[in-house]
Amino acid sequence: MAKSKHHQFIDTIDEVLTDAIKKGIFHLYTEDEDNFSGRIIKVKGKELINFGLCGYLGLEIDERLKKGVIEAVLKHGTQFAASRAYISNGLYVQLEKLLNKIFDAYVVISPSTTLGHISAMPVVIEDSDVIILDQQVHSSVQTAAQLAKIRGVKVEMVRHNNLEQLEGMIKSFEQKYSKIWYLVDGVYSMYGDFAPIKELEQLQHKYKTLNLYIDDAHGMSWIGKNGSGYALSQIELNSRVIIVTSLVKAFGAGGGAIVCYDKELARKIRTCGSTLIFSGPIQNPMLGAGIASAKIHLSSDIDKLQQELKEKIDFTNKLIKQYSLPLVSESDSPIFFIGMGMPKVGYNMVKRLMDDGFYVNIGIFPGVPVKCTGLRVTITLHQTKDDIERLVKTIAANLPFVLQDENSSLNDIYKAFNIEGKYFKRSLQQNNNSFIIENKKSINDINNEEWNNLLGKNGSFDCDGLRFLEKVFSNNTKPEYNWEFNYLIIRDRQNEPIIATFYTTALWKEDMLAKEVISEKIEEERLLNPYYLTSILVSLGSLITEGQHMYINKNSSDWKSAFISVLKYMEEEQERVKATTLILRDFETDDEEIKQLVFDNGFIKADMPESNVIEIENWSTQEEFINTLSPKSRAHVRKIIRLERFFDIEIKSNVSEEEIDHFYHLQMNVKRRNFAINVFEYPQKLFYKMNEINNWEFIILYLKPEYDSRKDRKAVGVGVCYKGANNESYNGMLIGMDYDYASYNTYRVALLHTVLRAKALKYKRVNLGFSANTEKKKFGAKAIPKVAYIQAKDNFNMELIGLFSAEK
């Protein structure tokens, strides 16, 4: 059974993270034998200075918190195993009273920040409200929002910290919904940048329906009065602001805290929050640690700790500027993200740092776009200024060697993170001196015989087919019907082809490979906005061709370098047209060399629908064809043959304008029911141009007059086929049907005659395309698994499409 597209995405994450695990930089364990200091950890027998913790103030090793844990255990035991709906350990009361003082508000404690969101959000957000997510808001917030969406609450997303887009959405929603909830992080956990909270407060004054829901887990303790966090250092708590924060990280204990301006709302969350009723409580040791930490927060000690950390943050910022490291977001938070770009660059750097005695986190997909890998360095009071200086110097010293190892540059890093003014366009010829490169914009400039020998046998993209597509998809009024073609042949110094391919630049629907149910929902949005969730993409092949779009001579020792040159040319095209995404498609699933090469260069895998191919060299007659099938399929095909009595079947290469119009209508019937691959409808011009070359032909199915009562006799089905070069492949490209006559099994009869026509023309194989695998298998088709590799500049549209998965 084929995997759902949801699990294909899980598999993609699994492959990316497993690759990092294999490289020894993910899923690590400490081997500390002595007392944990926070500064030094031992990994794989090596002592490393630790720049990977979020205990920014070092309170997790404070003797007062340790004493609080011990006293709580000695007095109350290791746990209090009861639902808070019934009874709570009295330590809860002490901790909540102290937190009320810290925040000068009403606080409800939750077992974790995530469970706090799941409790608070369903209570404070009503069905008549709307949720707007910041693109980078923490995953735990997005999870809780998805639960609200299942309930029927509308959920939208805006690009990270894009106030213009946010305000536009507020204007469109303020008359439609009771409240607008904007969900943000106070401090974002990956890049360490801040939410523009002062500006959001101004928007609240302007729009009375705007409410802020702030996850301030990474802002807690190290900033704000009494360590109340970044958000409250920027805004006064009011009835339209909810803050959920963490008692882990800088606070040094365990659990989460929901901070409310209104006492009644806090009571309601405490009473009705699902995870406060059914989940276990914070256990006694962490309650003891929390009480001890809260007392520190309410003393002058917190100011001293905050000041000490601030000095180290300022020191780090100064050093990073001094050594010109590619810092992605300049801020005064203790989180620093130093861009590496490609995953392979990040992996190389992390390994080198571990060899040199430092541990840092690596930021990789899905936490960041796959091409935006980087070092996530956290500054804590555990480290000394000497530690920080040594780390920055070590990164700076290693960076040139890492970039050289991985054939990358600072320019590539700045370009990946779109750091304006830092990168420049470079000539690709500088890096291609070992190859002879033919880069053309039209198939007319390519040697036809050579192209057809290398690629023409693989599908409908021989020279004649590509000339046809260039004519069809140019000079059109609609943007989706104008494609740009690029042809690349890369040769060695002996002029032998190593790689030949073509790629197109076109407007795509971003949900092309999404689940069908998601595409159906997105199409509802497109009724009002036809270009919703569409963007310019650069892809191998085209939106109408399928098959192996790249010839690779793997006997050449330089094929991998040539392959990377193809990527560079595609990236240059991406930059020129401002495309969001690169797609390498129609590769075999078991090609591990290609998979590793593209993973290292910033692509992720996406399963494509299987391609269906029938090899027809080993039979001559219809009966011989039937005998090649399984017993069950034989019975099926014989039944289809008997259905031929209902039809008159004609094969034409040239048809009337009236017939063209009708065939287009039949094809549109099928297109509008099929979301397996969701692409734009093809222009009617496609069908008109088919009349101009003999490579295209129509297998036309009419019902015999005795079965068709219509006054005007019209086709009930049509198969549109392309005759490939050198009698290699006969390609069933499009199918059209009148569903009022579907009971006659029009589709199956069309499939049968596609196979028989290919044999009559002496072709070696039939390409039957994607989808309807079960039907095609009955005719002897082999379903060939195919994958695409995708590299997006950011994850915004992918995340936005993901929101549709939770709709009713």
| Per-residue pLDDT tens digits for 1-29 | 344 444 556 777 787 788 888 888 888 88
Contact indicator for 339, 191 with CB cutoff of 8 Å? no
Same domain, 44 and 186: no
3-state helix, strand, coil in the chain (%, to 5): 45, 20, 35
Which of 416, 437, 468 is the last residue before a domain boundary? Answer: 416
Rounded to the nearest integer, the mean pLDDT of the chain is 91
DSSP state of 223: S
422 lies in a domain? no
Whether residue 314 sits in one domain with residue 207: no
Closest CA to 65 of 299, 285, 304: 285
Q: Residue 413 belongs to what H/E stretch? A: helix 410-416
Write down the pLDDT at residue 355: 96
Q: CB–CB of 57/252 below 8 Å?
A: yes
Does a structural domain hold residue 644?
Answer: yes
Residue 23 is given by DSSP the state: T
Q: Three-state SS string across 174-188, please?
A: CCCCCCEEEEEECEC
Q: Which pLDDT does position 251 carry in this prediction?
A: 97
Q: Where are the alpha helices (DSSP H) in 125-196?
A: 139-150, 163-173
Tell me what pLDDT residue 440 has: 95
Instruction: Check: CB of residue 804 under 8 Å from CB of residue 587.
Output: no
The highest-confidence range among 68-82, 291-305, 423-437, 787-801, by mean pLDDT, is: 291-305
Is residue 275 domain-shared with residue 335, that is, in the same domain? Answer: no
Please give the backbone phi and psi of residue 312, each rounded to the nearest 5 degrees, phi first: -75, -35
Same domain for 44 and 84: no
250-263 pLDDT, tens digit per residue, is 999 999 999 999 99
Pairing of strands 604-615, 782-792: antiparallel
- Residue 44 CA to residue 30 CA, distance in Å, equals 8
Statement to judge: residues 217 and 240 lie in one domain: yes
| The pLDDT of residue 84 | 84
What tens digit of pLDDT does each residue of 520-536 get?
888 888 998 999 889 99
Torsion of CA 689, 692, 695, 698, to 10 degrees: 70
Q: How far apart are CA 301 and CA 295, in angstroms?
A: 9
The CA distance from 503 to 500, in Å, is 10
Q: What is the CATH number of the domain that holds 50?
A: 3.90.1150.10
Q: Are 685 and 600 in a shared domain?
A: no
3-state secondary structure 676-742: CCCCCCCCHHHHHHHCCCCCEEEEEEEECHHHCCCCCCCCCEEEEEEECHHHCEEEEEEEEECHHHH
Q: What is the largest CA-CA distance in the chain?
A: 96
Same-domain pairing of 538 and 619:
no
* Residue linked to tokens 């949801």: 6
Q: Which residues pair with 378 in a beta bridge?
A: 335
For 552, the token pair is 């690779």
Pairing of strands 154-158, 210-215: unpaired
Single out the residue of 339, 319, 343, 291 nearest to residue 392, CA to CA: 319
What confidence tens digit (pLDDT) does each residue in 725-743 have? 888 999 999 999 999 998 9
**pTM value?**
0.84
pLDDT at 434 over 90: no
Contact 779, 637 (CB under 8 A): yes
What spatial distance separates the first Cα and last Cα of the chain, rounded to whole Å? 25
pLDDT, tens digit, 9 for 90 and up, residues 600-611: 888 888 888 888
Structure confidence at residue 369 (pLDDT)? 85
Q: What mean pLDDT comes out for the span 34-50?
A: 90
CA-based radius of gyration for the chain: 31
β-bridge mates for residue 210, sequence order: 180
CB environment 130-163: b (16+ within 10 A), e (fewer): bbbbbbbbbebbbebbbebbeeebbbbbbebbee
d(CA 516, CA 420): 38
pLDDT score recorded for residue 457: 87
Same domain (yes/no): 112, 243: yes
Answer whether 331's CB lies under 8 Å from 340's CB. Answer: no
Number of domains, the chain: 4
Of 388, 416, 444, at which residue does a domain stop? 416
Specify whether 713 is located in the same domain as 746.
yes
Residues 657 and 668 in one domain: yes
Percent residues over pLDDT 70 in the chain: 95
Instruction: Give CA–CA dist 254/288, Å, rounded.
Output: 10
Q: Which of 283, 274, 246, 262 is nearest to 99 (CA)?
A: 246
Domain end position, chosen among 275, 297, 319: 297
Report helix, strand or coil for 263.
helix
| 38 belongs to a structural domain | yes
Residue 94's domain is classified under what CATH number?
Answer: 3.40.640.10
Q: Are residues 393 and 435 in the same domain?
A: no
Residue 269 in contact with residue 119, Cβ under 8 Å? yes
- Residue count of the chain, please give it: 808
> 3-state DSSP call for residue 753?
helix
Q: Would the CA dihedral through 586, 588, 593, 596 be positive or negative?
A: positive
Q: By CB neighbour count within 10 A (0-12 exposed, 13-18 middle, 19+ buried), where does 58 fall?
A: buried
> 361 is in which domain, residue-wise?
5-56+305-416
Is residue 627 scored above 80 in pLDDT? yes
Residue 732's DSSP bridge partners are 721
How far is Cα 523 from Cα 807, in angstroms, rounded to an integer?
14
Element (H, E) at 582: strand 581-588
CA–CA separation, 118 vs 273, rounded Å? 8
Q: Please tell me the predicted confidence (pLDDT) of residue 805.
A: 54
Residue 334 lies in a domain: yes
CA distance 277 to 573: 55
In-domain check, residue 423: no
The DSSP string of 370-398 is TT-EEEEEE--TTS-HHHHHHHHHHHHHH
pLDDT > 50? residue 781: yes
Q: What is the pLDDT of residues 644-674, one digit of tens each?
A: 999 999 999 999 999 999 999 999 999 888 7
Between 494 and 3, whose confidence is greater?
494
The identity of residue 211, as a single letter, is N
Task: Sheet containing 40-43: give its strands across.
Answer: 40-43, 46-51, 358-363, 373-378, 335-341
422 pLDDT more than 70: no
Residue 421 falls inside a structural domain: no
**Residues with Cβ < 8 Å from 224, sequence gap 6 or more?**
230, 231, 232, 233
User: What is the band of 804 on the pLDDT scale with cuts at 50, 70, 90?
Assistant: low
How many other CB atoms sit within 10 Å of the CB of residue 578?
A: 9
User: What is the pLDDT, as a whole number, of residue 430?
Assistant: 46
User: Between 284-297 and 91-103, two packed helices, what is the crossing angle to 10 degrees?
Assistant: 30
Is the pLDDT at 407 greater than 90, yes or no? no
φ/ψ (deg, to 5) at 153: -75, 135
548 and 489 within one domain: yes
Q: Is 764 helix (H, G, I), strand (E, B) or coil?
A: coil
Classify residue 480 by its DSSP letter: G
Domain CATH for 703: 3.40.630.30
Question: Within 10 A of 280 (CB to CB), how many other CB atoms are there?
Answer: 14
